[in-house]
Amino acid sequence: MTDFTGLRALVTGGASGIGLATARLLAARGAEVAVLDLEPSGARPPLRGYRADVGDAPSVRAAVAAAAADLGGLDILVNNAGIGAQGTVEDNDDAEWHRVLDVNVVGMVRVARAALPHLRRSGHAAIVNTCSIAATAGLPRRALYSATKGAVYSLTLAMAADHLHEGIRVNCVNPGTADTPWVGRLLDAADDPAAERAALAARQPSGRLVTADEVAGAVAYLAGPLSGATTGTSLAVDGGMQGL
């Protein structure tokens, strides 16, 4: 088990789902963990909560500065906050495209900009972006969401190239459908939630949804010293969806 003692981590969207599981795992392994979230109350001690909207640059700058000051620096950024969107290109108008791209892509850029000066000082820093199997799988009725995650994938590669020689590795995780509050809300809105859950599970060769803890394990690997030679790559956590 990787020991994160002495490392300082910032997890965006860390008050729910994949982000919360990641924040808890890093903290359980000894890291000091700050959570940046629209509604940080879900992140209980020892996690430290900071309220910010990744769509709003001033709030991001203030929260990242406060977290870095409280933790005494940053070694790990888990760029995870994101929102969903359903439909074909005919279903979402330009305003919706701008809104979701702004949160899922520009939001990660805003957080990275604010965090990079602190990560540079670490000397052995890691950024892990939460991408999605949607970036590469061609999922039906996910045009906008998939486009945002395709951008996150490309952003990950570009940032890995830009920051390698500053001692910062940049990778992403590509979860399949994970059993989080987000997916719970999607299921609640379906005509037949049980049938929808079964359909989502059947889409993955493993026949079940991924757990948030399984994604967190992959994030922890990419954030920690065991992946020290790994940068500019994606790790699928998708029950075999990409490979089988």
CB of 26 to ligand NAD, least distance (A): 15
Per-residue x/- track, 97-136, ligand NAD (CB under 6 A): ------x---x----------------------x-x----
Nearer to ligand NAD, 110 or 118 (CB): 110
Question: Which of 22, 80, 156, 231 is the binder for ligand NAD (CB under 6 A)?
Answer: 80
CB of 37 to ligand NAD, least distance (A): 5
Q: How far is CA 206 from CA 90, 201, 241, in A?
A: 32, 8, 8
Question: Which of 11, 27, 33, 54 is the binder for ligand NAD (CB under 6 A)?
Answer: 54
Instruction: Show the tokens assigned to 8.
Output: 């300082």
If one asks whether residue 82 binds ligand NAD (CB under 6 A), the answer comes out as yes
Q: Which residue is nearest to ligand NAD (CB)?
A: 17
Q: Which stretch binds ligand NAD (CB under 6 A): 49-57, 89-97, 115-123, 161-169?
A: 49-57
Instruction: Show the tokens assigned to 14.
Output: 């860390």
Report yes or no: 66 and 79 within 8 Å, Cβ to Cβ. Answer: no
If one asks whether residue 146 binds ligand NAD (CB under 6 A), the answer comes out as no
Report d(CA 34, CA 40) in Å as an integer.
Answer: 10
**Pairing of β 48-51 and β 76-79:** unpaired
Report yes or no: 155 and 129 within 8 Å, Cβ to Cβ. Answer: yes
Q: Which stretch binds ligand NAD (CB under 6 A): 17-25, 65-73, 87-95, 226-234?
A: 17-25
Q: Where are the alpha helices (DSSP H) in the chain?
A: 17-28, 57-71, 94-101, 107-122, 134-137, 143-163, 181-188, 193-202, 212-223
Report yes or no: 171 and 231 within 8 Å, Cβ to Cβ. Answer: yes
**Number of Cβ atoms within 10 Å of the Cβ of 173:** 28
Bridge-partner residues for 8, per DSSP?
A: 32
CB of 73 to ligand NAD, least distance (A): 22
Catalytic residues: 145
Per-residue x/- track, 182-221, ligand NAD (CB under 6 A): xx--------------------------------------
Which residues would be at the binding site for ligand NAD (CB under 6 A)?
13, 15-19, 37-39, 53-55, 80-83, 103, 107, 130, 132, 175, 177-178, 180-183
